[in-house]
Amino acid sequence: MSVGHFTDAGGYIDHGDASVLFPVEEIDAVVHTHRDAELALKDASADSVLVVRPTGFASSYALTQRPLTAIEVLSLDDELRELLGEGVDGDLSNFELIQVGKAVAPTKNRSLAEF
């Protein structure tokens, strides 16, 4: 199963420029985590994924401590999209998902949904 598009994404945004997304649990948007994020990212083309990348040791540590997360760009409110768009090269509307974190190793699907 896909572990995200961390190395082949269509675009990247620095952790500092994406600070308006944190804490992810508090934003008003469609947010997928864990297995749901893996499935969403598997179905998305690499070009349509914007990845939050670390800018230093502290941000790298913070991102690796988070579960793999996929945020649907269209579900973000206009103000949040505008703030994020300032840190992105190009147009934010070209992206379908924002990936936060990455799976550090392939994991098995242990969801009850498979039963």
Which band of pLDDT confidence, cut at 50, 70 and 90, is reported for residue 102? confident
For the stretch 55-68, pLDDT in tens is: 999 998 888 889 99
Residue 109, pLDDT score? 61
For residue 6, the SS3 value is coil
Closest CA to 69 of 105, 27, 93, 40: 40
Alpha carbons 65 and 97: distance in angstroms, whole number: 20
pTM score: 0.83
Residue 103, pLDDT score? 61
Mean pLDDT, residues 34-49: 92
65's CB contacts (< 8 A; 6+ apart) are none
Which band of pLDDT confidence, cut at 50, 70 and 90, is reported for residue 2? very low
